[in-house]
Amino acid sequence: MQLIYKGKTKDVYSLRDGQILLKFKDDVTGENGVFDPGANTVGLTIDGAGKSGLKMTQYFYELINSRNIPTHFISADLDDVSMVVKDAQVIGKGLEVICRYRAVGSFFRRYAAYSEEGQKLDRFVEVTIKDDERGDPTISDDALDMLGILSKSAYQELKQLTQQICDIVKDELAKKGLELYDIKLEFGHDKSNGQLLLIDEISGGNMRVYKDGQYVPPLELERLFLSE
Amino acid sequence: MQLIYKGKTKDVYSLRDGQILLKFKDDVTGENGVFDPGANTVGLTIDGAGKSGLKMTQYFYELINSRNIPTHFISADLDDVSMVVKDAQVIGKGLEVICRYRAVGSFFRRYAAYSEEGQKLDRFVEVTIKDDERGDPTISDDALDMLGILSKSAYQELKQLTQQICDIVKDELAKKGLELYDIKLEFGHDKSNGQLLLIDEISGGNMRVYKDGQYVPPLELERLFLSE
């Protein structure tokens, strides 16, 4: 296998059969040594962070696949801390699709004039473009269409798929007394047939989860969620 | 008449008959002594700036009213540097509706990864909330609806009205060899009957206009545009 990209939290290898292997690392994003899933820089290294993220990812992807929602996930190898996925082309230069159930984070920072911190939101979806230099700006469906990134109908498909997937994650977390406040997904198109697929990981690093009104950090989330 | 609000570039008075008088000032927005229509702070005072803005505003409002598009404009008094308008309720705590014909300013700063500076845009509309403290963030139609600021259908009405008005302004400028790159409008609801109205001024301070590829500052724009 051949290394094709060294990411902030995962390295990407191409396999001989056209599939892709994602190797999860113990590097996590953050700033000033504090883990922050929303940050754009690697802030620190935590032993076991990669494996923890992979366990969550495997759990959610197997569940989502079983609901016949198209994803890139093929298999996970916990010992190797890696997973095999379909080769997908990111949308544009990469988009992040955020689904919000409560007004926290950047949503609240922007719209505090019209919202209370933590107020319920009805599966609010917004898209940001991956552009570290420009702080991952949000982008509207009109702009996605005008700039040739995503058509209006493709946006609607993306939005519906996002809400469907995030509701699954939210319901699963709720079974353990955990509440999903917001979550960030990525999508791509299957290089073999163009199908829209959920890609990347689904772990504590992509979501804000609270228990009894207290934020649950990613590694603790995995322990709470995957324990019997 | 009674002063009800001192704005950055205009003072607002209530008249006895329920109408409103807007008194244009020579203060203009900008930073570090440089006139910048997009800025949130008063940067400098320019003799004649108020009257210049009012002349442009009168010209465009009389034209737009004549096309049967609902606006707040009733009359202008150039000697008094003031205009009389219908009393309108701003949307939420105030929205700005931007219509873009070319990728410049904050649009280009956000989407440089997907656009060339100055590239043509097809009457791209976006809304920002007036919130100096938070840098006037953009807001999507989904968020406007979810936060109870504007319903989806009201947003569509706002967007179509914006494009219709801005095309009128663009065509008028084009007759003098001037090209509209982008423009910022405000809307409100007529307090007497709830009708959606174009409000505020329409002048060089609300738009970016170019001539032969060179930016034309607001006062020069008025001289070029309103000269015979």
Size (chain B), residues: 228
Pairing of strands A207-211, A214-216: antiparallel
Number of H helices, E strands in chain A: 5, 16
Q: Do A113 and B122 touch (CB under 8 A)?
A: no
Q: Does B140 touch chain A (CB under 8 A)?
A: yes
* pLDDT on residue B27: 87
What are the residues facing A98 on neighbouring strands?
A126, A184
Q: Amino acid identity, residue B41?
A: T
DSSP code, position B147: T
Q: Is A106 on the interface with B (CB under 8 A)?
A: no
Provide, as residue numbers in chain B, all residues whose Cβ is less than 8 Å from the Cβ of A108.
Answer: none
A146, B122: Cβ pair inside 8 Å?
yes
* Three-state SS at B21: strand
Summarised one tens digit per residue, pLDDT across range B153-205 is 999 999 999 999 999 999 999 999 999 999 999 999 999 999 999 999 999 98
What distance in Å separates the CA atoms of residue B59 and residue B209, rounded to the nearest whole number? Answer: 16
A46 in helix, strand or coil? coil
CA distance A114 to chain B (A): 7
SS3 A106: helix
Tell me the domain boundaries of chain B: 2-87, 89-218
Q: What is the pLDDT along chain A (228 residues), one digit of tens a residue?
A: 899 999 888 999 999 899 999 999 998 887 777 777 667 777 788 899 999 999 999 999 999 999 999 999 999 999 999 999 999 999 999 999 999 999 999 999 999 999 999 999 999 999 999 998 999 999 999 999 999 999 999 999 999 999 999 999 999 999 999 999 999 999 999 999 999 999 999 999 899 999 999 999 999 999 999 986
Find all residues with CB under 8 Å of B11, minimum gap 6, and list them: B3, B5, B22, B23, B25
Write out the two tokens for B69.
Answer: 């598009």
pLDDT, residue A38, reads: 67
B117 in A contact zone (CB under 8 Å)? no
Instruction: Give the mean pLDDT of chain B.
Output: 94
pLDDT score of A28? 83
Nearest CA in chain A to B91: A114
Q: How many CA atoms lie within 13 A of B173 on its CB side?
A: 26
Nearest to A7 by CA among B69, A21, A17: A21
pLDDT of residue A228: 67
3-class state of residue A219 by DSSP:
helix
pLDDT of residue B31: 76
Cα distances from A108 to residues A115, B137, B143, in angstroms, run 7, 11, 12
- Of B36, B59, B44, B65, the residue nearest B184 (C-alpha): B36
Q: Flag whether residue A126 sits within 8 Å of chain B, measured between CB atoms.
A: yes
Q: What is the mean pLDDT of residues B37-62?
A: 89
CATH number of A2-87: 3.30.200.20
Residues 16-45 of B with CB under 8 A from A: none
pTM of the model: 0.92
Same fold, B2-87 and B89-218: no
Superfamily for the B89-218 domain: ATP-grasp fold, B domain (3.30.470.20)
Closest CA to A129 of A111, A103, A148: A148
Determine whether the interchain pair A126/B142 forms a contact, defined as Cβ–Cβ distance below 8 Å.
yes
Question: Is some CB atom of chain B closer than 8 A to the CB atom of A134?
Answer: yes
Tokens of B28: 């203009």
**B1/A contact by beta carbon, under 8 A:** no
Sorting pLDDT into bands at 50, 70 and 90, what band is B30?
A: confident
Its ipTM equals: 0.90
Identify whether the C-beta of residue A111 lies closer than 8 Å to the C-beta of residue A103.
yes
User: Residue A114: its chain B contacts at CB < 8 A?
Assistant: 92-93, 129, 147-149
Do B173 and B101 contact (CB within 8 A), yes or no? no
Is A69's Cβ below 8 Å from some Cβ in B? no
Give B111's contacts in chain A (Cβ within 8 Å).
Answer: 129, 137, 139, 143, 147
Q: Is the minimum CB–CB distance between A114 and chain B shorter than 8 Å?
A: yes
**What is the structure's pLDDT at B123?**
97
